[in-house]
Amino acid sequence: MEVGKPAPDFEAESSKGKIKLSDLRGKIVVLYFYPKSFTPGCTREIQRFAELHDKFTELGAEVIGVSVDSVETQKRFSEKYNARFPVVSDKEKKISISYGVLNEKGTSAQRVTFIIDKDGTIKSVLSGLKKAEDHADKALEIIKKL
């Protein structure tokens, strides 16, 4: 998915129940994909998003994490690291495919963060960052400028 394109809508189960992206129109959305719950990089990433959650909320932004793990795994991962935002199960990989982030083997999502503006347009795409936790900090920097 590219900057300037409409963000593909989806409806999926998450750690906080069913979520539909289009229901968040009018808010900035930080949609971050990660490879696998409970791995070191993904753990640092969810911890950083959890630490910065209040700052995202103050700026009118919603954070949503996505991986191909099961809903049960997402709930455990979210609870363990006090994530107050939904963590989506993309077990069927439809969301990862629609955003173009499924890895070459087709087994998991790549680490990519999308900043989606209030009208549902992709404003920024973050990938290839050295540290997983940098996704949260960079996303916050971008949102402060919107």
- Report in angstroms the alpha-carbon separations of 24 from 55, 81, 114, 116: 18, 24, 14, 10
Residue pair 87/46 in contact (Cβ under 8 Å)? The answer is: yes
pLDDT in tens, 94-131: 999 999 999 999 999 999 999 999 999 999 999 999 99
- Which helix (H) or strand (E) segment holds residue 65: the answer is strand 61-67
Residue that wins the pLDDT comparison between 146 and 46: 46
Superfamily of domain 11-145: Glutaredoxin (3.40.30.10)
DSSP H helices in 1-146:
40-51, 53-58, 71-80, 94-98, 134-145
Residue pair 121/7 in contact (Cβ under 8 Å)? The answer is: yes
In sequence order, what are the residues at sequence separation of 6 or more whose Cβ sits closer than 8 angstroms to the Cβ of residue 24? 62
User: Which residues are designated catalytic?
Assistant: 42
pLDDT of residue 146: 86
- Which helix (H) or strand (E) segment holds residue 31: the answer is strand 28-33
93 pLDDT more than 80: yes
Question: 17: helix, coil or strand?
Answer: strand
pLDDT in tens, 24-34: 999 999 999 99
Neighbours of 91 (CB within 10 A): 16
pLDDT of residue 4: 92
pLDDT in tens, 9-61: 999 999 999 999 999 999 999 999 999 999 999 999 999 999 999 999 999 99
* Domain residue ranges of the chain, discontinuous segments joined by +: 11-145
Only one residue has tokens 């229901």, namely 23
- Mean pLDDT for 61-69 is 98
Q: What pTM did the predictor assign?
A: 0.97
pLDDT of residue 1: 77
pLDDT of residue 139: 98
